[in-house]
């Protein structure tokens, strides 16, 4: 009997311990859940009115019943605390669920250089295909905003206004996108002084051609009705629509990058990178952005390992960085996919969004000064650089530390120049001016201990350099070529193509009177010389002169006008180029600006020697000499 009594006593003792463990475990779980929710919804409570009260209730409950406030040897106290915490947690979760479509409009009226804006475009994955889950509405804050691209009723948003970023970021009815967690992760990892904003214009099922502008209405008319309806949201011109939104955004912030996720509708097409680059370059041009300061981030499609049916296009995406300067591939490795083989799950969107942010953070790191490295040697990626004037060229200065590790310290160096006013280093870019010259640039890295290491590199620049890489043969079309040999500078253009000098920063030619253009031959190309004072080769406002049948043109820079009589301003010239009226090659001798007064022989058009009594102006164009000025008649300069 005594043994039986002892047995039951031992069972009761074990049961008591198990009960105590269960009470403690339940309490610990409640504390952990409360702490997680407080961290998860802290920023939301600050900007989503409906969450504020319940968040404060949970915060108070945690203060009164959390680990610091409860005797964890007192089972009764832990039971009470567990109940209080769970009730407050459930209340917050329930309120968070009911306020998913709530948002906060954020007024943006003044320009803020710390407001960093990203343009997002593409097809269904950028549009957002997965239904957002409750956690996708968390971590919202006034440091991650979205501009409403269209009017919405649920959530209520007005086109062109800024809101705290919560799904959907594209259009009403769309889902979670890479942009959601790109922005959350980026904002969390950047200094508190920086606010991140996104603008999302995407269309499910569209090919990359949807973001071309030429012939877009005819293109859309050939698409399925549902895709036409998507396009109607963007006035049947998604490219122009996005650019117009971006121009408004530039009034209050700085565009720092462009995100693309597209390719299923162009699966394995080898010319896809060329088309992407065309759109990217047009965006840069329209928004007056430097390519070196505005990276293009291109996301991979759903991988084969995750059941992707268009995974083959990832091999095409992999070639983008070799074909588009300052572009990067964003990995989709291990990002879970939906059963359709095209889209990501909500978790997959979170993961690839974080991958976009990681790539962008690496770009940010390149611009940050770091003096913490030990020093061994310093090296410029390019020891000799040839550039046209008014251009921007990415610079790479690499430090090798005493452990043999290498670091990009371009932004951390100080720079001196053998000749001032010709080139400068701005951030991580080499910038050339209007003046020509051969300059030795010295980069010096100094660490926190005062240890220094230096390296030199050479820069040769002239405004109208004839060197390969300085003449742009694809200003209007992607098929032009420019070849330099010991005897010729050959610019080959297809009909309608333009090639010449496209300045990344406007060239100030206001200090010169004339622009002299000399050709060896036109080979029947019938070129037209064009000069633009706007950063857009598609503009209809430009100065032009035909060079058909002549090998020289002299432009009076002070008297340039477009076809409508509008003055072309020589103080900010963006493009000096040849337009091909027929397909053929142009052999260029030289192009230069000067203040020397040209002689009569300098400006006699070739055809004037064959036509007696013909009158030409100083550019070589036929003229009726109806206004006072200097003209060429019968090969002689005449004042009228």
DSSP string, 568-624: P-TTSEEEEEEEESSSEEEEEEEEEEE-SPPPTGGG--GGGGTSTT-EE-TTS-B--
Alpha-carbon distance values, 533 to 396, 507, 542, 572, 576 (Å): 31, 9, 7, 6, 9
Write the pLDDT tens digit of every residue in 334-350: 999 999 999 999 999 99
Instruction: Give CA–CA dist 243/121, Å, rounded.
Output: 11
Class of domain 382-462: mainly beta
Mean pLDDT of the chain: 90
**Rama region for 8: left / alpha / beta (φ>0; ψ in -120 to 50; rest):** alpha
pLDDT of residue 601: 41
pLDDT of residue 620: 54
Does the pLDDT value for residue 605 go beyond 50? no
Is the pTM higher than 0.85? The answer reads no
Write the pLDDT tens digit of every residue in 446-482: 999 999 999 999 999 999 999 888 899 988 877 899 9
pLDDT of residue 631: 54
Average pLDDT over residues 516-538: 88
For residues 635 and 263, the model is more confident at 263
Alpha-carbon distance values, 336 to 121, 185, 346 (Å): 21, 19, 8
Is 2.60.40.1120 the CATH number for 481-598? no
**Residue 6: which pLDDT band, with cuts at 50, 70 and 90?**
very low
Q: What percent of the chain has pLDDT over 90?
A: 79
Strands 254-261 and 115-122: parallel
Write the pLDDT tens digit of every residue in 39-79: 999 999 999 989 999 999 999 999 999 999 999 999 999 99
Instruction: Give CA–CA dist 602/524, Å, rounded.
Output: 22
For residues 525 and 189, the model is more confident at 189
**Residue 21: which pLDDT band, with cuts at 50, 70 and 90?**
low
Write the pLDDT tens digit of every residue in 395-437: 999 999 999 999 999 999 999 999 999 999 998 999 999 989 9
The CATH homologous superfamily of the domain defined by 112-365: SGNH hydrolase (3.40.50.1110)
Does the pLDDT value for residue 633 go beyond 90? no
Write the pLDDT tens digit of every residue in 191-203: 999 999 999 999 9
Does the pLDDT value for residue 160 go beyond 70? yes
Please enumerate in sequence order all residues whose Cβ is within 8 A of that of 557, keeping only pairs 6 or more positions apart, or say none. Answer: 509, 510, 512, 513, 514, 515, 570, 593
Identify whether 551 is preceded by a cis peptide bond (ω within 30 of 0): no
Instruction: Give CA–CA dist 179/359, Å, rounded.
Output: 13
Please enumerate in sequence order all residues whose Cβ is within 8 A of that of 469, keeping only pairs 6 or more positions apart, or say none. Answer: 386
pLDDT of residue 193: 96
pLDDT of residue 600: 43
Domain residue spans of the chain = 17-98, 112-365, 382-462, 481-598
Alpha-carbon distance values, 365 to 269, 299, 608 (Å): 33, 20, 61
Instruction: Give CA–CA dist 470/33, Å, rounded.
Output: 61
**Residue 627: which pLDDT band, with cuts at 50, 70 and 90?**
low
pLDDT of residue 235: 97
Would you call 146 helix, strand, or coil by DSSP? strand
Residue holding tokens 């452990």?
A: 403
Instruction: Give CA–CA dist 110/532, Å, rounded.
Output: 31
For residues 525 and 194, the model is more confident at 194
């Amino acid at each position: 009997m005594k043994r039986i009594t002892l047995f039951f006593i031992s069972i009761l003792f074990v049961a008591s311990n198990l009960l105590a463990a269960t009470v403690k475990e339940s309490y610990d779980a409640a504390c952990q859940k409360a702490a997680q929710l407080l961290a998860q919804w802290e920023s939301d409570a600050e900007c989503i009115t409906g969450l504020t009260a319940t968040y404060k209730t949970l915060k108070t409950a945690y203060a009164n019943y959390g680990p610091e406030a409860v005797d964890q040897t007192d089972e009764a106290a832990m039971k009470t605390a567990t109940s209080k915490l769970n009730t407050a947690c459930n209340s917050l979760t329930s309120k968070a669920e009911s306020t998913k479509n709530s948002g906060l409009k954020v007024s943006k009226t003044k320009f803020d250089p710390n407001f960093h804006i990203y343009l997002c475009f593409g097809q269904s994955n950028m549009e957002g295909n997965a239904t957002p889950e409750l956690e996708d509405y968390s971590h919202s804050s006034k440091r991650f905003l979205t501009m409403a691209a269209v009017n919405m009723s649920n959530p209520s948003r007005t086109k062109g206004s800024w809101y705290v970023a919560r799904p959907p970021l594209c259009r009403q009815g769309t889902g979670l996108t890479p942009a959601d967690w790109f922005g959350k992760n980026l904002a969390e990892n950047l200094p508190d002084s920086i606010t991140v904003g996104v603008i999302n214009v995407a269309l499910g099922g569209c090919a990359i051609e949807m973001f071309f502008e030429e012939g877009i209405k005819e293109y859309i008319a050939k698409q399925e009705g549902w895709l036409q309806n998507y396009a109607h949201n963007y006035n049947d011109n998604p490219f122009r629509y996005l650019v117009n939104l971006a121009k408004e955004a530039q009034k209050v912030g700085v565009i720092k990058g462009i995100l693309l996720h597209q390719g299923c509708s162009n699966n394995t097409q080898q010319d896809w990178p060329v088309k992407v680059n065309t759109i990217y370059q047009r965006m840069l041009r329209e928004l007056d952005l430097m390519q070196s300061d505005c990276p293009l981030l291109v996301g991979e499609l759903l991988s084969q390992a995750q059941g992707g049916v268009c995974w083959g296009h990832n091999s095409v995406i992999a070639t983008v960085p070799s074909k588009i300067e300052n572009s990067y591939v964003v990995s989709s490795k291990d990002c879970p996919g939906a059963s359709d083989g095209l889209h990501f799950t909500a978790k997959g969107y979170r993961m690839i969004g974080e991958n976009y942010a990681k790539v962008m953070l690496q770009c940010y790191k390149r611009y940050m000064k770091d003096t913490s490295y030990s020093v061994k040697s310093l090296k410029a990626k390019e020891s000799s650089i040839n550039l046209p004037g008014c251009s921007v060229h990415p610079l790479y200065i690499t430090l090798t530390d005493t452990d043999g590790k290498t670091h990009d310290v371009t932004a951390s160096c100080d720079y001196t120049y053998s000749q001032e006013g010709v080139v400068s280093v701005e951030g991580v870019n080499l910038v050339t001016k209007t003046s020509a010259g051969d300059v030795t640039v010295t980069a010096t890295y100094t660490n926190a201990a005062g240890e220094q290491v230096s390296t030199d590199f050479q820069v040769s620049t002239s405004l109208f350099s004839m060197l390969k890489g300085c003449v742009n043969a694809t200003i209007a079309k992607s098929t032009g070529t420019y070849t330099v040999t010991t005897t010729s500078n050959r610019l080959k253009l297809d009909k309608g193509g333009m090639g010449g000098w496209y300045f990344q920063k406007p060239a100030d030619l206001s200090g010169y009177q004339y622009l002299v253009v000399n050709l060896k031959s036109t080979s029947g190309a019938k070129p037209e010389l064009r000069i633009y004072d706007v950063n857009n080769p598609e503009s209809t406002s430009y100065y032009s002169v035909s060079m058909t049948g002549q090998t020289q043109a002299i432009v009076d820079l002070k008297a340039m006008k477009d076809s409508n009589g509008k003055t072309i301003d020589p103080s900010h010239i963006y493009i000096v180029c040849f337009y091909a009226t027929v397909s053929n090659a142009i052999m260029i001798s030289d192009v230069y600006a000067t203040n020397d007064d040209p002689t009569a022989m300098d400006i006699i058009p070739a055809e004037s020697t064959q036509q007696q009594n013909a009158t030409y102006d100083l550019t070589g164009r036929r003229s009726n000499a109806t206004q006072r000025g200097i003209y060429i008649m019968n090969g002689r300069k005449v004042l009228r």
